[in-house]
């Protein structure tokens, strides 16, 4: 079993913070700042408190476990690409012919026995302390409130273990859990997730659903919980494959669900399928709040824990965050599983400022006309890839997918409207831009093949072009052009929006010789000189069917939508830090940030 604290001290440059800090805003704000630094480190808060409730916790809080790429690789024990090679080898296994081939395959088959979890017949370390139902008090756990507008405190690194009604399938998911009071949690399992499918079974049968939520233990448990495993496959199989040893599970005290023996805390309970309660708001990994919505409620039966537990938590919001490194490992390891449905796929990358499901870059071997479009439809039709909103495909002659500047230049030299596919499909539960929840526009760009023949007809400087645009629309405030050396430069403008921004596009027709791609964002909280956060804003805020026009040139409306645009959903706000909390942390000498850092990562309104 892994002693996570000692391991991180030795291998992860663990930073220990002994200053008493509040679980409401202070601890998560500090972790949020730390993980955005180039040299970010895991953090252990030894004296968490809750000043509003007058609580001093005896349980430390561990955050930013996946603090950087180096520590993430060490946690896996090898580079994720090596793990992917092992998966690729398994997928290509064929029945051996002859005794020599059988002998050669024997080591692989023997290793596979370590994949399957072991169910132990005794109690685990996670059950050294058992709190009965009448003594359950979730306030004794240092559950964090990250953002000022959050609906309450949330467990953010909970391993949620569920099973099907007939007990034949078990699932591990990573879902946020809102604390309502001393013994109830909101279960934010989204409609497309396995736990939600199991819940449907219990609901139809009119039976309460057992749930066990584990916190802590080997960090790979929580990574497995967010991994895009096929439906019906227990995520702990993946743990066994990565670690090359069986996960050891023990039975929960009040239900039949098995959980890892060495986690720190287990919250057991039942979900009544007839009950729901408003959950949220919650500042989510999109960098926006997800809004109030009814979700099932878990009533806690018991809490078990180690004698000296550690409470693991993560913070989500605007990128870059810890999920950048968790996502990197997922991306590398699951590449072989994508190749059976897209065999000519070479590589893919999901940039963290595209918040993963909002943007995917893929490199492929092009064999025939329309091949890239075929890949787009394949991606949008399989598993969690079906949530991807924007997919850009390049050929094998393109730069490496993480060489973002060179890759962008390569794409823009091949971008034209006939290579753009706009369609419709399912979108993530958290997507706020689509006109209706769960269904929205999809954008595919085929940037394979040769460069476009004609570049910009009449390149114009920023100041002159801004003057021309303001003569047409006085609401345009700023303008900056990017990648002017390419055949298809990007022209970004900010606006003070008082009407639908696409309503005046026809008037812009006279500027066609000066513009090939026009991107429009709100002036508020957007820095026109910060392309990293501009990309984040654009891919979050657009629905391809509504917000992209292909004439008179390519136009992308990435402004916030409202009734002005015929948008009748509630548009959420950004996740923003509390200015007083940041000031307090600076005064205590715990963070060191300046105005440039604040603006770079959109920490406050500006």
pTM of the shown model: 0.92
pLDDT at 104: 56
Backbone dihedral angles phi then psi of residue 186, each to the nearest 5 degrees? -85, 130
- pLDDT, tens only, 322-339: 999 999 999 898 888 788
Tell me the two tokens of residue 431. 């997507």
pLDDT at 90: 56
CATH of 4-79+109-313, one of 2.30.110.10, 2.30.30.100, 1.10.460.10, 2.115.10.20: 2.30.110.10
Mean pLDDT of 433-456: 92
pLDDT at 503: 82
| Dihedral sign computed on CA atoms, order 582, 587, 590, 594 | positive
Q: Which residues contact 463 (CB under 8 A, 6 or more apart)?
A: none
Name the DSSP class of 419.
G
Q: Kindly indicate the confidence band of residue 85, based on its pLDDT and cuts at 50, 70 and 90.
A: confident
Q: Kindly indicate the confidence band of residue 506, based on its pLDDT and cuts at 50, 70 and 90.
A: confident
Place of tokens 């040893």: 245
- pLDDT, tens only, 478-497: 999 999 999 999 999 999 99
Residue ranges, CATH 2.30.110.10, the chain:
4-79+109-313
Please check the confidence at residue 106 and state whether its pLDDT lies above 60.
no
- Rounded CA gap, 581 and 190, in Å? 31
Express as a percent the part of the chain with pLDDT over 70. 95
Please check the confidence at residue 97 and state whether its pLDDT lies above 80.
no
- Rounded CA gap, 95 and 588, in Å? 64
Which of 82-86, 228-232, 290-294, 525-529 shows the lowest per-residue confidence on average (mean pLDDT)?
228-232
Q: Which residues contact 103 (CB under 8 A, 6 or more apart)?
A: none
pLDDT at 343: 86
Please check the confidence at residue 124 and state whether its pLDDT lies above 80.
yes
Backbone dihedral angles phi then psi of residue 494, each to the nearest 5 degrees? -105, 150
Residues forming beta bridges with residue 303, ordered by sequence position: 131, 267
Domain 339-447 superfamily per CATH: UbiD C-terminal domain-like (3.40.1670.10)
Q: Kindly indicate the confidence band of residue 101, based on its pLDDT and cuts at 50, 70 and 90.
A: low
Please check the confidence at residue 19 and state whether its pLDDT lies above 90.
yes
- pLDDT, tens only, 34-49: 999 999 999 999 999 9
DSSP labels, 535-585: HHHHHHH--HHHHEE-SSSEEEE-SPP-GGGT--SPPPPBP---HHHHHHH
Place of tokens 């007083």: 580
Q: Kindly indicate the confidence band of residue 108, based on its pLDDT and cuts at 50, 70 and 90.
A: low
Q: Which residues contact 18 (CB under 8 A, 6 or more apart)?
A: 46, 47
pLDDT at 356: 83
- pLDDT, tens only, 132-173: 999 999 999 999 999 999 999 999 999 999 999 998 889 999
Pick the catalytic residue from 150, 218, 284, 323: 284
Residue ranges, CATH 3.40.1670.10, the chain:
339-447
Coil, strand, or helix at residue 448? coil
Cβ contact 125:306 at 8 Å: yes
- pLDDT, tens only, 547-592: 999 988 999 999 999 998 999 999 999 999 999 999 999 999 999 9
pLDDT at 112: 67
- pLDDT, tens only, 187-224: 987 665 666 788 888 889 999 999 999 999 999 999 99
Indicate the average pLDDT of the chain: 91
Residues 49, 54, 55, CA angle at the centre, nearest 5°? 45
The beta strand positions in 76-128, using DSSP E, are 118-119
Q: Is 284 a catalytic residue?
A: yes
Please check the confidence at residue 94 and state whether its pLDDT lies above 70.
no
Q: Which of 251, 179, 288 is nearest to 537 (CA)?
A: 288
Q: Which of 309, 304, 282 is nearest to 293 (CA)?
A: 282
Residues forming beta bridges with residue 279, ordered by sequence position: 293
Q: Which of 287, 356, 259 is nearest to 537 (CA)?
A: 287
- pLDDT, tens only, 382-410: 777 888 999 999 999 999 999 999 999 99
């Amino acid at each position: 079993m892994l002693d996570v604290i000692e391991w991180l001290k030795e291998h992860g440059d663990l930073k220990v913070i002994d200053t008493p800090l509040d679980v409401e805003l202070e601890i998560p704000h500090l972790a949020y700042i730390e993980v955005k630094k180039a040299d970010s480190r895991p953090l252990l808060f030894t004296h968490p408190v809750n000043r509003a409730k007058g609580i001093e916790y005896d349980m430390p809080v561990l955050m930013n476990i996946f603090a950087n790429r180096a520590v993430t690789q060490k946690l896996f024990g090898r580079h994720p690409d090596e793990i992917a090679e092992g998966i690729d080898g398994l997928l290509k296994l064929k029945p051996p012919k002859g005794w020599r081939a059988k002998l050669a395959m024997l080591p692989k088959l023997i290793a596979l026995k370590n994949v399957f979890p072991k169910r132990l017949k005794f109690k685990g370390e996670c059950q050294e302390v058992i709190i009965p139902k009448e003594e359950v008090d979730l306030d004794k756990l240092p559950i964090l409130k990250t953002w000022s507008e959050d609906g309450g405190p949330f467990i953010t690194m909970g391993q949620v273990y569920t099973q099907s009604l007939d007990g034949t399938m078990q699932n591990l998911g990573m879902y946020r859990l809102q604390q309502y009071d001393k013994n109830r949690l909101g279960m934010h399992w989204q409609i497309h997730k396995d736990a939600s499918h199991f819940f449907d079974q219990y609901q139809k049968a009119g039976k309460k659903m057992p749930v066990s939520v584990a916190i802590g233990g080997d960090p790979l448990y929580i990574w497995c919980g967010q991994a895009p495993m096929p439906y019906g496959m227990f995520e702990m199989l993946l743990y066994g494959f990565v670690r090359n040893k069986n996960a050891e599970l023990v039975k929960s005290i009040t239900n039949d669900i098995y959980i890892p023996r060495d986690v720190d805390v287990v919250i057991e309970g039942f979900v009544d399928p007839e009950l729901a309660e408003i959950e949220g708001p919650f500042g989510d990994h999109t960098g926006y709040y997800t809004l109030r919505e009814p979700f099932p409620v878990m009533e806690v039966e018991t809490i078990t824990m180690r004698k000296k537990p550690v409470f693991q938590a993560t913070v989500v919001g605007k990128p870059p965050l810890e999920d950048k490194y968790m996502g990197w490992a997922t991306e590398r390891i699951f590449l072989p599983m994508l190749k059976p449905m897209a065999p000519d796929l070479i590589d893919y990358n999901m940039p963290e400022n595209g918040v993963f499901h909002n943007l995917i870059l893929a490199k492929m071997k092009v064999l025939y006309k329309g091949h890239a479009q075929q890949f787009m439809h394949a991606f949008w039709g399989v598993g969690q890839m079906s949530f991807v909103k924007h997919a850009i495909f390049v050929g094998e002659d393109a730069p490496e997918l993480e060489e973002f500047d060179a890759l962008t230049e390569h794409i823009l030299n091949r971008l034209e409207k006939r290579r753009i596919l706009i369609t419709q499909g399912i979108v993530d539960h958290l997507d706020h831009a689509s006109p209706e929840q769960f269904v929205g526009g999809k954008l595919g760009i085929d940037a394979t093949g040769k460069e476009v023949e004609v570049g910009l007809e009449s390149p114009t400087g920023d100041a002159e072009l801004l003057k021309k645009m303001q003569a047409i629309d006085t609401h345009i405030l700023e303008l900056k052009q990017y990648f002017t050396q390419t055949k298809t430069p990007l022209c970004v403008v900010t606006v003070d929006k008082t009407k639908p921004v696409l309503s005046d596009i026809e008037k812009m027709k006279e500027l066609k010789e000066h513009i090939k791609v026009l991107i429009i964002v709100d002036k508020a909280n957007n820095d026109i000189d910060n392309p990293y956060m501009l990309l984040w804003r654009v891919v979050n805020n657009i629905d391809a069917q509504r917000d992209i026009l292909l004439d008179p040139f390519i136009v992308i409306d990435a402004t916030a939508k409202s009734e002005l645009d015929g948008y009748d959903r509630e548009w959420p706000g950004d996740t923003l830090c509390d200015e007083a909390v940041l000031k307090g942390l600076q005064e205590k000498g715990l963070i060191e940030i300046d105005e440039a850092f604040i603006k770079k990562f959109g920490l406050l309104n500006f």
